[in-house]
């Protein structure tokens, strides 16, 4: 007996008993809905370079695009933090970084008082009768104790990563410490089956078949996390062949002077990182190679998403499964002179967010701002669970029902205390911890090249957006480290060391 039929038998028997006591319309049983499953697809470091978002004109993402075609695309969705750990902790606990103090790659959220006992999104579904299982990168780390691994009933064998590097770096001697992850190019393997993301998709295929034929009679919450296009940007030759060198790769807009009207403090948010600067890419003739590798890894990941979606359909589960696909944050490929994340600009905050499944309209696009923080309350409401108290996100159910429905607030991104971005349907406002500001009009300037913050004509717009920010963000949680920015006795420190402009790498 399949999972669906098991639910039908149990639910029908329950309704028959009720009808025998109280009477029912003859067609009532057929109208009752079964609890929906949830397929939760996470992608790491994927910016808006997917076909349906139009972030890059040459990108090929047919599977993400077809998911959007059968659901609702939130085309103005933004992360709460431009870094893996705080973003994922926010999504899965339902709290902002500015509330928890989790801004950096450490600590684990179970080591922070406010979130130590938080009921995470999968736990909440488990409490409501769901079987929960996960594989790949969902949380930033799996956690090093059983108490920290209480979020899923079943954990797959892969927690993230790429499953190995070539014997030698393809791109040697990068200038920001030559970190082993900062590498890109064709992975020396004939097939994709050696890559971890391929294995995660295979696990999902197998589990969906098992779930479809389960005798357990429970709906499921399955989380599937893909590492790429996180660095290192390795993919096998077939994915690079989608973007042949002779055809030319369109490079992102990155004029040499685009930071001339940007506050110097903006450099503090990515003062010294493994990720290379655009200046290095140009000097070493690697900019096009880097962009091509990012695009190849996106298309590889898209293919793995397609395998999971195909398995869902093959097993007859599509009609009763809510699918949500998201990326934890964006990624720069030369814009503003840098690569990587760790900024409050569009390229770092703007991410894909798609919902599809039962009763969700098909082929709709929402231009209202959305936050990844909204995923938790949205899934809870759409699955018909009781509301979870204390969540800081807003349910996107109104926009799922009507793509033109209003939204009461913009999207806010935070990177270390006091550094915040506010994104509305038209504007982006940034305020840094030293009080310096940026303002961009996306109706006229989608690439954020002209900072309007000092123009008094925009004072009213700026003040209205600033009104959404907290008076004070939570301080760094104890144990915070890696990409920390702190003011210690009046001196700004990056990862514990004073910032010295003589060490500036532009």
Catalytically active residues, by annotation: 84, 140
Closest CA to 225 of 122, 316, 146, 109: 122
CB count in 10 Å sphere of residue 166: 14
Exposed/middle/buried for residue 429 (C-beta within 10 Å: 0-12, 13-18, 19+):
buried
Cis preceding linkage at 232, omega within 30: yes
Query: CB of 339 within 8 A of CB of 333?
Result: yes
Query: SS3 sequence, 333-382?
Result: ECHHHEEECCCCCHHHHEECEEEECCCCCCCEEECCCEEHHHHHHHHHHH
List of residues 6+ apart from 117 with CB closer than 8 A: none
Q: Please provide the distance, in angstroms rounded to a whole number, between the alpha carbons at the two ends of the chain.
A: 62
- Tokens linked to 255: 């004029």
Closest CA to 121 of 403, 474, 382, 422: 382
> Distance between CA atoms of 340 and 454, rounded to whole angstroms?
28
List of residues 6+ apart from 500 with CB closer than 8 A: none
> Distance between CA atoms of 326 and 333, rounded to whole angstroms?
20
Query: Within the chain, what is the greatest distance between any pair of CA atoms?
Result: 82
List of residues 6+ apart from 137 with CB closer than 8 A: 42, 44, 159, 160, 161, 225, 226, 227
| CA 501 to chain centroid | 33
- Tokens linked to 48: 């808006």
CA angle (325 as vertex; 319, 329 as ends), nearest 5: 170
- DSSP assignment of 135-176 equals EESSSSS--SSSGGG-S-SEE-S--SS-S---SS-SS---TT
Query: CB of 118 within 8 A of CB of 146?
Result: no
């Amino acid at each position: 007996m399949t999972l669906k039929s098991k639910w039908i038998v149990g639910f029908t028997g329950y309704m028959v008993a009720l009808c025998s006591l109280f009477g029912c319309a003859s067609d009532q049983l057929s109208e009752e809905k079964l609890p929906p499953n949830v397929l939760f697809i996470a992608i790491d470091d994927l910016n808006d370079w997917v076909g349906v978002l139009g972030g890059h004109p040459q990108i090929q993402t047919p599977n993400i695009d077809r998911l959007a075609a059968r659901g609702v695309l939130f085309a103005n969705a933004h992360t709460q933090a431009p870094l893996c750990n705080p973003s994922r902790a926010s999504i899965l606990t339902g709290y902002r970084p500015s509330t928890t103090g989790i801004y950096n790659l450490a600590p684990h959220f179970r080591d922070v008082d406010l979130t130590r006992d938080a009921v995470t999104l999968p736990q909440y579904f488990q409490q409501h009768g769901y079987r929960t299982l996960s594989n790949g990168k969902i949380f930033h780390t799996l956690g090093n104790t059983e108490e920290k691994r209480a979020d899923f009933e079943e954990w797959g064998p892969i927690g993230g990563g790429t499953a190995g590097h070539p014997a030698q770096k393809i791109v040697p001697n990068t200038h920001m410490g030559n970190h082993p992850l900062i590498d890109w190019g064709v992975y020396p393997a004939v097939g994709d089956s050696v890559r971890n993301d391929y294995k995660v998709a295979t696990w999902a295929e197998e589990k969906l078949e098992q779930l479809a034929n389960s005798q357990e009679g429970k709906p499921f919450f399955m989380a599937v996390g893909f590492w790429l296009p996180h660095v290192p940007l390795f993919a096998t030759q077939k994915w690079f062949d989608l973007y042949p060198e002779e055809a030319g790769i369109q490079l992102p807009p990155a004029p040499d002077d685009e930071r001339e009207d940007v506050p110097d403090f903006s450099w503090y948010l990515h003062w010294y990182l493994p990720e290379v600067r655009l200046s290095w890419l140009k000097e070493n003739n690697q900019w096009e190679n880097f962009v091509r590798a990012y695009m190849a890894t996106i298309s590889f990941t898209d293919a793995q998403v397609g395998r999971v979606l195909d398995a869902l359909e093959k097993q007859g589960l599509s009609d009763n499964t809510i699918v949500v696909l998201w990326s934890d944050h964006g990624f720069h490929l030369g814009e503003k002179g840098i690569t990587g994340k760790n900024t409050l600009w569009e390229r770092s905050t703007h991410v894909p967010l798609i919902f599809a499944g039962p009763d969700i309209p098909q082929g709709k696009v929402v231009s209202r701002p959305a936050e990844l923080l909204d995923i938790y309350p949205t899934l809870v409401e759409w699955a018909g669970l009781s509301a979870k108290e204390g969540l800081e996100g807003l349910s996107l159910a109104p926009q799922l029902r009507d793509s033109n429905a209003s939204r009461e607030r913009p999207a806010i991104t935070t990177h270390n205390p006091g550094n915040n971005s506010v994104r509305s349907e038209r504007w982006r406002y940034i305020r840094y911890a030293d009080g310096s500001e940026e303002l961009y009009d996306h109706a006229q300037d989608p690439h954020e090249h002209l900072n309007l913050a000092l123009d008094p004509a925009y004072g009213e717009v700026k003040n209205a957006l600033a009104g959404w920010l907290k008076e004070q963000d939570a301080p760094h949680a104890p144990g915070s480290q890696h990409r920390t920015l702190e003011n210690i006795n009046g001196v700004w420190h990056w990862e514990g060391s004073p910032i010295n402009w003589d060490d500036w790498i532009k």
